[in-house]
Amino acid sequence: MIWLAVAAHVFVVIGFTTRILLRDDLSPPARMAWFVVLNLLPYFGSAVYFLFGEVDLGHRANRRHQAVFDALRAKMADFMGAPGSADDLIAPLYRPAFHYAASINGFHPVPGNRAELLADEAATTARLVQDIEAATERVSVLYYIWLTDETGTAIAEALIRAAQRGVICRALADGLGSRRLVRSPLWRRMGEAGVQCAVTLPLKKPVRTVLTSRLDLRNHRKITVIDGRITYCGSQNAADPAFLIKAQYGPWVDVMLRFEGPVVAQNEILFLSDWLQATGEHLEAFDLYEEPQAGGFPAQVMGDGPTERRGATPQLFSGLFASAQEELILSTPYFVPDATVLEALCAAAHRGVAVQLIFPKRNDSWVVAAASRSYYRKLLSAGCQIHEYRDGLLHAKTLTVDGCVSVIGSSNLDQRSFDLNYENNILLQDPGVTCDLRARQQSYVAQSDVVHHAEVLAWPRHERIWHNVIATIGPVL
């Protein structure tokens, strides 16, 4: 019997090791992390790899994604911006980053946009509901997490009222993050009232999903488009700041911008790409609008996901870090960077850029918390400043560069956002909006504890070992 166990062990380890070596899309650190897992825990590690090792929605989903985007580009190219527009609209220092963003989905910078930074989560919900109440044509919403709490219900009820007065309402929710809503009476009432409801990446056939893809590929986007003239972009889901399903970490602190201008059409196209894939509908006549705002700024949408090319988000952020001349400020709740992002941050600090990083002090993911802290010593040694937000879970995903360029949206700086989630962001150049976002970032800093280099050096050995062990398998998390 012993020889059977040994043979099974060898077969499992060699089989999955061969598969890992055949994958050209894996980075060397990711391969090494899988080797460690498979050799230390061969049976458990093999099961984990089988369930979560491949970043693939399946050939059918990939073909559908390509067909949908080809159709959207063919019919809506005029609203996706003109190739080369960054050369006319964007300052030379930042053009490479905008050009790179355009290469991901085909969205180019469009001028004539304006944005308003909402005061807080309550103000965002109130303004969003007000805009839905004023809608006359259509409302499209997509949320990763949509709860049946006060915020989630308020948005759902506003959609119900809009649908009852003849507004076309489309509601798209992620099958995992919004699983409680899609099984609730509220979701059924939305459908009965005329709201067109759909679930993206549903969990109805988990066995088939496990065999052909993986369960944790998620649509993490937060998109709201109203009458084709207003869109919201940022980190806030359709949920209360108290976030009762993880109340011990609350309140969740989010940030949202309300946009008007041609970038609204780009965000609506991104929503449509998800809607068409989730529903199987075919693209018919769909009127988009371009209403440039006087004196508005250039902006463009960037969407990423497992059906886009690998590494798009970290490469974009690294390009923005490289463009910084004076200052870059970043806030994110989940920081498990790849080598590209980590080295770009350190390089910026080494050449004299004031790099400020803002993370939550208490994270709802103990794995991410441990992995994040494994990078503190390197970042602080390079001259970065690290602030840990203490008044709740800082969920805001923001980047400001030189008081001129900003990124806001759903992307975190971790492997999940880089490889597994569908994400949406808006990249813009405007000193006014960037100044407002920077002020919000500084309010986070004021509510944070500074992490000092000497403090990190004094961490006990067992703590440092723990952080580094978790970071070693970070590429497979």
Annotated catalytic residues are 220, 222, 227, 395, 397, 402
Determine the residue type at 122.
Answer: A
Q: What gap in Å lies between CA 147 and CA 252, rounded to an integer?
A: 14
Per the DSSP assignment, residues forming a β-bridge with 354 are 327
Contact 428, 253 (CB under 8 A): no
Tell me the backbone φ, ψ of residue 38, rounded to 5 degrees: -70, -35
Per-residue DSSP letter, 41: S
Omega of the bond leading into 251 within 30 degrees of 0 (cis): yes
Residue 186 backbone class (left: φ over 0; alpha: ψ -120 to 50; beta: rest):
alpha
Determine the residue type at 346.
Answer: C
Tell me the backbone φ, ψ of residue 331, rounded to 5 degrees: -125, 135
Q: What gap in Å lies between CA 458 and CA 477, rounded to an integer?
A: 27
Determine the residue type at 370.
Answer: A
Q: What gap in Å lies between CA 85 and CA 98, rounded to an integer?
A: 9
Per-residue DSSP letter, 413: B
**187 Cβ contact partners less than 8 Å away, ≥ 6 residues apart:** 156, 173, 181, 197
Q: What gap in Å lies between CA 277 and CA 169, rounded to an integer?
A: 17
Tell me the backbone φ, ψ of residue 203, rounded to 5 degrees: -105, 25
In total, the chain counts a number of residues equal to 477
Contact 415, 477 (CB under 8 A): yes
Determine the residue type at 103.
Answer: S
Beta strand pairing status for 354-360 and 196-200? unpaired
Can you point out the beta strands (E) in 73-220? 110-117, 138-143, 168-174, 196-200, 218-219
Contact 336, 366 (CB under 8 A): no
